[in-house]
Amino acid sequence: MQKRWVLKERGDPGKVAALAAELKISAVLAELLVQREVYTFEEARNFFRPSLDQLHDPFLMKDMDKAVERLIKAIDSKEKILVYGDYDVDGTTAVSLVYNFLREIGHEKVDYYIPDRYSEGYGISFKGVDFANDEGFSLVIALDCGIKAIEKIKKANEYGVDFIICDHHRPDDQLPEAVAVLDAKRPDCNYPFKELSGCGVGFKLIQAIASQKNIDPEILHKYLDLVVVSIASDIVPITGENRILAYFGLRLINQNPRPGFEAILRYSNILRKSENTEVNSAPATGNGVSWEDPPCIFNRELTISDMVFLVGPRINAAGRIESGRNSVKLLVCENIEEADTIACQINDFNTTRRDLDANTTDMALDAIKTDARLREACSTVVYNKDWHKGVIGIVASRLIEAYYRPTIVLTSSNGLVTGSARSIKDFDIYDAIDACSELLEHFGGHKYAAGLSLKPENLDAFIEKFEEVVKKGLTEEMLSPEVEIDLKINLNEIGPGFYKVLKQFAPFGPGNMSPVFQTDGVIDNGYGRIVGKNHLKLTIGHHEIASAPFPAIAFQQGDHFNYISQGKPFSICYHIEENDWNNQKSLQLNIKDIKLPEKE
């Protein structure tokens, strides 16, 4: 699939030069900072050395005062509190965070509830409300869900069960009549940062409780590992407050992982540096958390990508295959032996999930190949009543890799057609689904990911209407995958000192992606080869400029080998990364795309 290379606009030359001089760094690095709206020494210090003191006052969030007043009343009166959350990573980490915090500050009458994906579906359910009432819970804290639960909250109010909603999804015009609705995306909420994860909203709630009850804020820091996993897995922007939370959350996981994360990572080929290294062995201050820099206890430093691809899928697998309660059990357990037992079970769920994912993806691709209407459409909407509900979101993402267009994968559940939607860059799939809302029973989500359900008799009409909406909203450019390039550089601008500063731009993710560079007129040294199924292993140098050669890997780019092997020049866009082989570290280029000269 041909990709569009889009070069970012250059920053103001005067600002770039001034920043380079003030920080004593290269113009390339200064340009990258200016692109990230870092213009001064003070802003650079905050960017490279985030501080927990930079977190916003939680009481800036609308309804936080009401939430805190009601929760403190419940704590002081020893009411039964139910912590309720969605079955995905964001929901289960949020539940683990609030549940653990309430237990830690001495509130024993607390339990948690994760709805069943298949019998209850996403978010607050009538069954969950009934459970709270039947079991005598007078207060429910709903995390990562609830912003659209109008009827469920009405039912809870009839029972006399109070709800505090902590959500981060886009609200409708009408809000549930809960005691408090915490959601920075509320139009009437002036909270400075709008992109918290669901777990992040939960963190703001316990931050507010701690401040009101004069609890040492260091107690909160041990929960930042849960927050960073939610930030990574829910793919929220790693900017502003999220960047601070992610920065310290990653340090905590690398230095002092909770038993649940330690156990999960044992199934991820992230080996410990030493068999003698004890869990929770990092130097501690306060409540077992240190922001010093002891060595990473793993064989390399874990990143946001590891949270996305190694930790998140395993936590998700429990809710996809059996019950999200297993994930919470894992994340709240306090010893490694118990964590190992649960992690083993969850890893088995993940293996099952991968098999279902692969089989369902193959079936969906076959459906598209054999249906001319689907092949020619601007959107992909596929349905099979027998597909496993737990993997349809993953399958939607896989289909976008093959057919780059807005995609919905649907199956049957509890008498309804239910589905997961995923989108492409710059196309708001939430708005597109909203335009079809008269045909839906429920829907919710974000710009690039959403869920929905509808009656079977409305399926054909929905597919037709959705295709109309997508066709009107798409441009030709949107249908071509984009590679956003930060800067054009020459290879001789790269070196150990350059990379030492570059890696401090992390944590990388949406809003602060790992920089992508473009270099033109490069050649291979003649020893390039195809490795694996279709990958290129190259040694790259300039064709006409003196420069040190760099080893490079280009995944799924083997089709270019015949041209490259002739020693002809070409262009590359790439990340710069560190390769650690036999304890020898060296820089290598991770090539995202290759462009041959037009005439070729």
Dump pLDDT digits (tens) for 494-528: 999 999 999 999 999 999 999 999 999 999 998 89
337-369 pLDDT, tens digit per residue, is 999 999 998 888 888 888 999 999 999 999 999
Q: Could you tell me what percent of the chain has a pLDDT over 70?
A: 95
Min mean pLDDT across 106-115, 278-287, 350-359, 457-466 is at 278-287
- 142 pLDDT tier (thresholds 50, 70, 90): very high
User: Region 232-254: what's the mean pLDDT?
Assistant: 94
Tell me the CATH class for 371-479: alpha beta
Write down the residue that tokens 């936080």 correspond to.
64
Q: What is the pLDDT of residues 307-321, one digit of tens each?
A: 998 899 889 888 776
Q: Does 285 have pLDDT greater than 60?
A: no
Q: pLDDT tens digits for 245-278?
A: 999 999 999 988 999 999 998 887 775 544 434 4
- Res 599: pLDDT: 61
Whether the Cβ atoms of residue 127 and residue 119 lie closer than 8 Å to each other: yes
Can you tell me the mean pLDDT for 216-221?
Answer: 91
Banded model confidence at residue 279, pLDDT cuts 50, 70, 90: very low
pLDDT for res 353: 86
CATH for 58-340, among 2.60.40.770, 3.65.10.10, 1.10.150.120, 3.90.1640.30? 3.90.1640.30
Compute the C-alpha angle 175/85/249, nearest 5°: 110
CA separation, residue 593 to residues 218, 517, 571 (Å) = 45, 11, 9
Mean pLDDT over 11-26 rounds to: 94
Alpha-carbon dihedral angle through residues 486, 491, 492, 498, given to the nearest 10 degrees = 50
The ranges assigned to domains in the chain are 4-49+482-595, 58-340, 371-479
CA–CA dist 228, 303 (Å, integer): 10
**pLDDT digits 0-9 by tens, 410-460:** 999 889 999 999 999 999 999 999 999 999 998 988 888 899 999 999 999
Torsion sign (Cα): 569, 570, 571, 576: negative
Region 203-215 average pLDDT: 96
pLDDT score for 295:
52
Backbone conformation region of residue 333, classed left if phi is above 0, alpha if psi is from -120 to 50, else beta? beta
Residue 582 has pLDDT above 90, yes or no: no
Residue 349 · residue 320 · CB < 8 Å: yes
pTM: 0.87
Report whether pLDDT(545) > 90. Answer: no
What CATH number has the domain spanning 4-49+482-595? 2.40.50.460
Paired tokens of 46? 């905050």
Q: Does 81 have pLDDT greater than 80?
A: yes
Burial of 152 (0-12, 13-18, 19+ CB in 10 A): buried
Strand ranges (DSSP E) for 121-260? 139-143, 162-166, 180-182
* The pLDDT of residue 324 is above 50: yes
pLDDT at 129 (0 to 100): 97
Mean pLDDT across the chain, nearest whole number? Answer: 91
pLDDT of residue 526: 85
Which of 47-51, 189-193, 351-355, 563-567 has the weakest average pLDDT?
Answer: 351-355
